[in-house]
Each structure stands twice: as structure tokens, then as C-alpha cells.
Amino acid sequence: MTDLSMSASRRASRLIGIMIVVAPVIASADAPLQVQLPVDCEVGNSCFVQNLVDHDPGPGASDFMCGHLTYDGHNGTDFRVPDVPSAESVDVLAAADGKVLRRRDGMADVSVRKIGVDAVTGSNCGNGLVIDHGNAWETQYCHLAKDSLTVRPGESVLAGQTIARIGLSGLTEYPHVHFTVRRNGTVVDPFAFGRGDGECGGGESLWSAAAMEQLAYAPGFVINAGFGAGRLDMDAIEEGALSDFKLKDDTPALTAVVRAGWLAAGDVIEMSLSGPYGTVLAKTRSDPLARSMAQHMLLIGKTRPTRGWPRGRYKSVYKVVRNGALLLEREFQLVY
Ligand SMILES: [Zn+2]
């Protein structure tokens, strides 16, 4: 089995430092690789950009906009889907024409929260593929679904061709594809090729025009919004508890849940749950967040009334206020 494991985090940071030095030479020598979206989903709706490439060479983390949508040493772009059931219908696509170099398949789709980080040591990428695009450009796709890889080393692929499905293999707690672009073995941020050190928003985008339409820089987005029964945790949401839920007469508690991506320090979150005739069943307003959070889950709920759940419409409204202005608003409902 070919080892596809990603570089250790500190090493990745150093590689980015080297990239900055060599980039002007590459740009003058030939045109950079153009990449398409590596996932068959609608970014911002059926999938989300969870993490960008870390440009900070030190122990901190900074994305190409000098924002916080990354973590220390992250060397790719993460496209996530809302939960495990939704991953089953999202294909991973070749970002450009090329030839398959390496692959790994056969690793289980399971969160490292369940099996522990040690279980995937040396194979953090999980089921993965590396594609050679010529001119020393390559792309890598990690955490693919077990037995979903459709291409083998030596095979040619076309941009947009299905090569696998989004999965949960390797070092991951949620279904996503980790997409890395490299030139001469050095990590390149497809949002900011040749970006100068600390140059916020600098560098050149490698994304195709069609991909760029879906790739607005998004500090704050709703990943899941829905109802469930009782107290739900991250694993239950990941396993699809919100998609499966049906209110029944004996449901012990009705819970409205929203999981959001990349909320910022100072953000205030408001959430309400109302029942038939607009009766307020639960309501909350958070203190300003003390720090930015890659994902933030909020749930409010109501225990079953003694005479059962009244028939009618149950509605939840979720709002995130940033710097005094409304950043996100999501309303969702169910009819019982
Ligand atoms: Zn990643």
C-alpha cells in the first residue's frame, strides 16, 4: 500500500515558507494549474469550506485573507458535507486533467472521536488519491469513502471526472474531502498562489471562474439546522439525527439545533423555538463568544407537555449578530 500520509503540520508550514520564495520564478516560467471544484455539491448549501490553508509559518494560524478560517499547519482546503448520510451522495471530482499517481483504499469510514488518533497514525489522509497534472503540479484528495475510488494508478482522468465519494476515513471527525495542491512537492494555496508573506488577500487564484462563483470567503455559515429528540451531541448530528427526526406523540423533548461554522469572537447568537399559535417554548441569547470557533452548536428545547404535543407548526429562528449587524439568519419549521 502506498503511503499517502500528509506531511506533519510543522513541516507543512515550512513548505509554505519555501513556496513564497520560489513562486515568482514559477509564474514567469509557465501558466499555473487551473483547478475546478473537487466536489460535486453546491458550496454554501449542500457543502461548505470548513478550513483553508494555513499561511502562518509559526505556531499560529492565518488563512490567505489573514483571517482565522484554518488551523496550525493545515495544508489544504476542506470541503465538508452536513452529516454522514449526506456524504453518500457527494462525489469527489478530479480538479484538472491528469494521471493517477497513487491511491489508498480500504480504510473504514469512522470518526477518530470513536477510534482515537493513534488508530490512523501514518495514514492521516485515509483513503486517498494523488493526481499528476504535469509540469510538477499535483493534487491530493483525502478522507474518501471506503471502496469508492473509481480510478487506479496510471489511469488518465479528466477535469470534473468522478474519482471517489466523500468519506470519513483517516484523521477526521466529520465527512469531508481534504484537497491539497502542490507544485514541485510544495503546498500551494489554490486561493492565493504566489502570495507574499502577510499579504492579506494577495496572490493569484487557481480556481476556475465557475468554481470561484461558489467560493466566496465565508466567515460564518450554517452547517445544520433542524429538530431532534432530547439532548443531541456532535456525533448524533454527524450521524444524521436531524435528517431522520419525526415528532411523535411520545417524543420526550423537542429540540431545535443549529451547528454553524466559523463564528468569531464577540459574535452573539439568538435562538427561539415556538409552537402552534406562536407560543414561545424556548428562547436564548448567548454572551459574546470569547474566541472564534471552527464549529459551534446551539440547541434549545422543551420537554413534552403532560397532555402531549399540540398539533400545528413548530418553528425555530436562529440569528448570529456580529459587530451589531445581523450576519446569519435561519428559520426552520416542522408541522406536526
Ligand atoms: Zn484538511
Mean pLDDT, range 61-74, rounded to an integer = 96
Is the pLDDT at 51 greater than 90, yes or no?
A: yes
Residue 6: closest CA among 76, 81, 96: 76
193 C-beta neighbours (distance < 10 Å), count: 20
**Overall pTM surpassing 0.75 (yes/no):** yes
Cα of 30 vs centre of ligand 1, distance in Å, is: 28
91 close to 28: Cβ distance less than 8 angstroms: no
Residues, beta carbon < 5 Å, ion ligand 1 = 76, 78, 178
Of the listed ranges 29-38, 53-62, 80-89, 135-144, the least confidently predicted one is: 29-38
Cα of 73 vs centre of ligand 1, distance in Å, is: 10
- Looking at every residue in the chain, the average pLDDT score rounds to 91
Cell of 213: 462563483
The 313-322 sheet, strands edge to edge: 280-285, 268-274, 313-322, 325-335
Mean pLDDT, range 172-192, rounded to an integer = 97
198 C-beta neighbours (distance < 10 Å), count: 11
Cα of 76 vs centre of ligand 1, distance in Å, is: 5
| β partners of residue 22 | none
Q: Is 224 exposed, middle or buried (0-12, 13-18, 19+ CB in 10 A)?
A: buried
Place of cell 445544520: 224
Cα of 218 vs centre of ligand 1, distance in Å, is: 17
Residue 112: closest CA among 47, 174, 176, 177: 174
Cα of 260 vs centre of ligand 1, distance in Å, is: 18
Residue 79: closest CA among 140, 126, 37, 134: 37
Cα of 55 vs centre of ligand 1, distance in Å, is: 14
Cα of 29 vs centre of ligand 1, distance in Å, is: 30
Residue 80: closest CA among 260, 250, 286, 209: 260
Cell of 111: 470518526
| Predicted confidence band of residue 15 (pLDDT cuts 50, 70, 90) | very low
Is the pLDDT at 219 greater than 80, yes or no?
A: yes
Taking only the tens place, the pLDDT of each residue in 90-136 is 999 999 999 999 999 999 999 999 999 999 999 999 999 999 999 99
| Predicted confidence band of residue 29 (pLDDT cuts 50, 70, 90) | low
Cα of 39 vs centre of ligand 1, distance in Å, is: 14
User: What are the Cα distances from residue 259, in Å, to 3, 46, 129, 161, 282?
Assistant: 34, 14, 30, 31, 17
- Amino acid 244: pLDDT: 83
- Amino acid 18: pLDDT: 39
Is the pLDDT at 164 greater than 50, yes or no?
A: yes
Is the pLDDT at 20 greater than 70, yes or no?
A: no
Is the pLDDT at 83 greater than 70, yes or no?
A: yes
Residue 127: closest CA among 172, 88, 186, 158: 172
Cα of 135 vs centre of ligand 1, distance in Å, is: 24
Cα of 217 vs centre of ligand 1, distance in Å, is: 17
Cα of 329 vs centre of ligand 1, distance in Å, is: 27
Residues 182 and 253: their CA atoms lie apart, in Å, by 49
Mean pLDDT, range 39-65, rounded to an integer = 96
Is the pLDDT at 179 greater than 50, yes or no?
A: yes
159 C-beta neighbours (distance < 10 Å), count: 16
Residues 145 and 47: their CA atoms lie apart, in Å, by 16
Cα of 75 vs centre of ligand 1, distance in Å, is: 7
Cα of 77 vs centre of ligand 1, distance in Å, is: 6
Taking only the tens place, the pLDDT of each residue in 301-322 is 999 999 999 999 999 999 999 9
Cα of 283 vs centre of ligand 1, distance in Å, is: 35
Is the pLDDT at 13 greater than 90, yes or no?
A: no
Cα of 171 vs centre of ligand 1, distance in Å, is: 9
Is the pLDDT at 26 greater than 50, yes or no?
A: no
Cα of 272 vs centre of ligand 1, distance in Å, is: 33
User: What are the Cα distances from residue 234, in Å, to 115, 218, 281, 331?
Assistant: 16, 22, 23, 21
Provide the terminal-to-terminal Cα distance of the chain, rounded to the nearest Å. Answer: 52
